[in-house]
Chains A and B, each alone.
Chain A
Amino acid sequence: MTEKNQTPKIHILSLTVSNRPGVLARVAGLFSSRGYNIDSLAVGETENPELSRMTIAVHGDESILEQIRKQLAKLIDVIKIQDFSGRDFLQRDLMLIKVSASPAKRGEIFQLTRVFEAKTVDISPKHVTVEIAGPETKIDAFIELVRPYGIRELVRTGRIAMLRGMMEQTRQTTRRV
């Protein structure tokens, strides 16, 4: 049945698609026309220039996800769909964040940057801009820690993800970072 009392869970879908004009619009259009909301979407070329990889984070209960996967599979330009939920995968998000920092406060920001293994990429008299990559939780934590200083601007790429290991099929355990 349609109604289910499950808490919506985040799913990471990894799509291999033809690298052709209109494919992104087709995938995005499918989500909007069926009322599904995309949490984040990252797209880029793969090692094969004829193919692109889309990493889509989406939430919803299992029956909605099942529909999304099936509808995506129907698109002629979608060659492969992987749902990473329940599997061992790496995910990264990249952020540039510009924080208000007078010369007196800069040291504190630098310290946070070091602890998070982030990088200071620009400094002006009133601001520090930091580049940080990592899983979403790490980035969210960094945002919360610098929020008191004043966030002037931030931009994130959205998640990209990849299964661990050499072979996608083998569920070998690798070191978690």
Chain B
Amino acid sequence: MKKSGAQILIEELKHLGVEVMFGIPGGSVIPLFDVLYDSGMRFILTRHEQGAAHMADGYARATGKVGVCIATSGPGATNLVTGIATANFDSVPVVAITGQVKTRLIGNDAFQEADITGITRPISKHNYLVRDVRDLARTVQEAFYIASTGRPGPVVVDLPVDVTTAECEYDGPGKAQMQLPGYRPSVKGNVRQIRLAAEAINAAEKPVIYAGGGVIISGASDLIAKLAHVAEIPVTTTLLGLGCFPETDPLALKMLGMHGTAYANHAIQNSDLIIAVGARFDDRVTGRLDSFAPHAKFIHIDVDPASISKSIEVDIPVVGDARHILEELLKSVKPAKHPAWIEQIDEWKKKHPLVYDRTCTDGVMPQFVVEQIDEATGGKAIITTEVGQNQMWAAQWFRHSHPRHFISSGGLGTMGYGLPAAIGAQVGRPDDVVFDIAGDGSIQMNIQELATASYNQVPVKVAILNNGYLGMVRQWQQLFYKKRYSATRLSGNPDFVKVAEAYGILGLRVEKPEEVRPAIDKALLHKGPVVLDFLVCPEENVFPMVPVGEAIDRMIGGMA
């Protein structure tokens, strides 16, 4: 039977299990939206394409499914770029469908033309410009397969408008043959390498598991817990790994690195074996490279061969899916106890806990707000963050205990990510409580998506830690630039309660510590979205902190 490109696309998407898409229509995608109109597929109209990309990303991180966003050609497509780069950095399966001008006008500087495959080449896992409607079904299948397998990532499918209107013979969805001779993601780890890893673990006296986002992606959180408990190995996680191991567990060291806990960093620096799983030795984690874990051997389990020995030369690399490898590894790891090591770590925990000044009277303490959100939701809320101080406080002060519950732009560090990501996460998991922990700077980068939350009654709770500054930059200026606060004071901020109300959303302002919990409880009882404006202590800093270029046990501040 003959079908148009637009019809083929929607049929393939449905067949691939897509339930919802995020985006904005425009000239080049009108035929597509015409088919969407009575397709029965849910479409969330956003207010900016960047919001759509982050929603697809938040949806993907919260559910593990592929998130889909749609934009028109030219500015619609370029507005997706930050969202695509964000998903790429953090290995999030997103398929971005962009409109394109007619094939015969490509390269002609046509109205709303942009070379989006050229623009997204270095920031996507792969991309396609579909020039022939007969290639469309295959391309959509390949795009989803590439996005969701191996090290996941975003795939862009650029569709010229005439390809969506052209017709061709179509056998129905899922029938086209994929042609990917150059794509073979490794799954199973090398048996010999796994055996070497097990031997190293069995011989270690001061082992540490360093778990990253890859653990969550591969669904291996339970196996990390098993490994930790069988061989008594403490676990520290990266920012994106938060939640893969319950922080309520006595073996939990919480996050490591620049704003990690002192005890996680001390454990790394004194360890004799680092077991890195689904992590990539990012510079915010390692600090000064040549003094990172100086006494340790390294095991590195990762699905991406290019992550191995990129910054740290590792002793035992194992390439493959973390879940597969851990399953095999656990067969050879012997039960063990490391009493002296655990005692040492407990001493560090006692000596250097995370702390903040609970007596501050100049507004609410931001850390207290995060603690209260944790308590009020029983640690079960899905937390999204913006980027900067709010992100680090959310990482430090919430007891992360569940995978796919902490959603944050780690690699790219995209301000404006949290609100749309929260909307995407909430759409994917309607029964969970979703909190966006935001700053007054970041929230304004995609604040227009309050309209999306309001109209669709997506009940996200936005907690703005409002300090009137671009806080993280201000902190660096205070610590390293003699308090010369160049362009970090956010003068002219709006009244966020009124902004919320203007969007038809409940807005609550909190100025005193005793108002914090009642406001959170009220927000949780409210059925729709809520904006909470917490006026926090303006010059509070994120501590501890490892200055750039220092070894990670040379932390400043926040030490009891």
Contact = CB atoms under 8 A, between A and B. Distances in A.
Interface string A13-29: 00001100110011001
Interface string B388-421: 0000000000000000000000000000000000
Nearest to A75: B182
B310 A67 contact: yes
B121 interface: yes
Contacts of B125: 76
Nearest to B150: A74
A66 B129 contact: no
Contacts of B313: 1, 63
Nearest to A16: B182
A30 B124 CA distance: 12
Contacts of A74: 304-306
Contact of A76 (B118, B146, B304, B310): B146
Contacts of A30: 122
Interface in B309-342: 309-313
A78 interface: yes
Interface string B111-130: 00000011001100110010
A25 B306 contact: no
B183 A29 contact: no
A2 B121 contact: no
B16 interface: no
Contacts of B289: 1-2
Nearest to A74: B306
- Say which size band chain A's interface belongs to: 20 to 34
A10 B180 CA distance: 31
Interface in B409-463: none
Contact of A26 (B121, B146, B305): B121
A67 B309 CA distance: 9
B84 to A, nearest CB: 15
A36 B117 CA distance: 22
Given A26-B121, A67-B306, A76-B146, A1 B290 contact: yes
B144 to A, nearest CB: 13
Contacts of A26: 121
Interface string B86-128: 0000000000000000000000000000000110011001100
Nearest to A77: B182
Given A1-B289, A1-B313, A79-B182, A73 B305 contact: yes
A171 interface: no
B378 interface: no
A70 B117 CA distance: 22
A80 B304 CA distance: 17
A3 B105 CA distance: 49
Interface string A38-79: 000000000000000000000000010011001101111111
B181 interface: yes
A18 B179 CA distance: 10
A2 B310 CA distance: 8
A29 B182 contact: no
A25 B183 CA distance: 18
A96 to B, nearest CB: 31
Q: Which residue of B118, B306, B309 has the most chain A CB atoms within 10 A of its CB atom?
A: B306
A33 interface: yes
A77 B289 CA distance: 33
A22 B129 contact: yes
Given A2-B289, A74-B304, A33 B122 contact: yes
Contacts of A22: 117-118, 121, 129
A116 to B, nearest CB: 40
Nearest to B182: A79
B550 to A, nearest CB: 17
Contact of A78 (B118, B182, B305, B311): B182
Contacts of B306: 67, 70-71, 73-74
A17 B129 CA distance: 18
Nearest to B155: A76
A44 B125 CA distance: 25
Given A1-B313, A2-B289, A66-B309, A76 B129 contact: no
A148 B195 CA distance: 64
A71 B28 CA distance: 34
A51 to B, nearest CB: 9
Interface in A122-144: none
A15 to B, nearest CB: 10
Q: Which residue of B122, B129, B181, B311 has the most chain A CB atoms within 10 A of its CB atom?
A: B181
Interface in B168-182: 180-182
B121 A25 contact: yes
11 contacts: A1-B312, A1-B313, A18-B181, A21-B129, A25-B118, A26-B121, A67-B306, A70-B306, A74-B304, A75-B182, A76-B183
Interface of A: 1-2, 17-18, 21-22, 25-26, 29-30, 33, 63, 66-67, 70-71, 73-80
3 closest cross-chain pairs (CB), A and B: A70-B306, A79-B182, A76-B126
Given A33-B122, A73-B305, A73-B306, 15 more contacts: A1-B290, A1-B312, A2-B311, A18-B182, A22-B121, A22-B129, A25-B118, A25-B121, A63-B313, A67-B310, A74-B304, A74-B305, A77-B182, A79-B181, A79-B182
Interface of B: 117-118, 121-122, 125-126, 129, 146, 180-183, 289-290, 304-306, 308-313
